[in-house]
């Protein structure tokens, strides 16, 4: 998930970025105009925006999002405790707020909850280890047993590259009398059935395959 932090105080901006960047893709801006340019570039999925941005206001960011049809959940950062400011933020489309100084646990919890409940669910992928099936948007994509085992193995260790020998040792129980080509064939068929989610299975040229861990 790509998060945009809009905070004019460098120390707070850097602090929040450091808290989130291990788990998410994080970009930041120190003012509203810079933030709008980032929003226009696309792919921002969550915004954390201070209400007071020097001589500007975080409300202007909310107005821009609302007026230009962007569907980006926005959490306001505020040291203000007056009801009117928060009411204005909600009227302009804010979904939540965090009181400054920012509490580490509260920040991470709210971001995690928003990712769960507000992030679009298109092409959601699910691995059901009880039924040994893989589903996209709740629909079984009908993998063979071998294809399922390959996908389950790769996804169990994101970003770890499995060589063809690794896969044969695990999936085919070390039967190296068969050609390594059987691995390529099953990966090809697996990607075809995954459709848009095929991008999760990456090739490490000359080495093997891995499941890409997308934040």
- Give pLDDT < 50 ranges for the chain: 120
Give the pLDDT confidence score for residue 10 in this predicted structure.
95
Q: What is the pLDDT of residue 87?
A: 86
pLDDT tens digits for range 110-129: 998 887 765 545 557 888 87
What pLDDT is attached to residue 83? 77
Listed residue (114, 118, 58) closest to 88, CA to CA: 58
pTM of the model: 0.56
Q: What is the DSSP string of the chain?
A: -EEEEE-S-HHHHHHHHHHHTTTSEEEEESSHHHHHHHHHHS---EEEEESEETTEEHHHHHHHHHHTT----EEEEES---HHHHHHHHHTT--EEEESSPPHHHHHHHHHHHHHHHS--TT-EEEETTTTEEEETTEE----HHHHHHHHHHHHSTTPPEEHHHHHHHHSTT-TTS-THHHHHHHHHHHHHHGGGGGGEEEETTTEEEE----
């Amino acid at each position: 998930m790509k998060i945009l932090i809009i905070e004019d105080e460098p120390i707070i901006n850097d602090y929040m970025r450091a808290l989130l960047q291990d788990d998410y893709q994080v970009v930041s801006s120190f003012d509203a105009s810079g933030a709008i340019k980032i929003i226009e570039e696309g792919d921002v999925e969550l915004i954390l925006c201070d209400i007071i941005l020097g001589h500007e206001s975080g409300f202007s960011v909310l107005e821009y999002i609302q007026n230009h049809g962007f569907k980006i959940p926005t959490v306001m950062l505020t040291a203000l405790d007056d009801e009117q400011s928060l009411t204005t933020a909600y009227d302009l489309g804010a979904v939540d707020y965090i009181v400054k100084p920012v509490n580490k646990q509260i920040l991470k919890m709210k971001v995690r909850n928003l990712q769960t409940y507000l992030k679009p669910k298109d092409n959601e992928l699910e691995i059901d280890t009880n039924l040994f099936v893989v589903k996209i948007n709740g629909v079984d994509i009908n993998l063979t047993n071998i294809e399922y085992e390959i996908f389950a193995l790769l996804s169990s260790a994101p970003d770890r590259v499995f060589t063809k020998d690794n896969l044969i040792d695990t999936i085919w129980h070390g039967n190296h009398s068969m050609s390594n080509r059987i691995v390529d064939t099953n990966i090809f068929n697996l990607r075809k059935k995954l459709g848009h989610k095929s991008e999760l299975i990456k090739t490490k040229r000359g080495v093997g395959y891995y499941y890409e861990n997308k934040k």
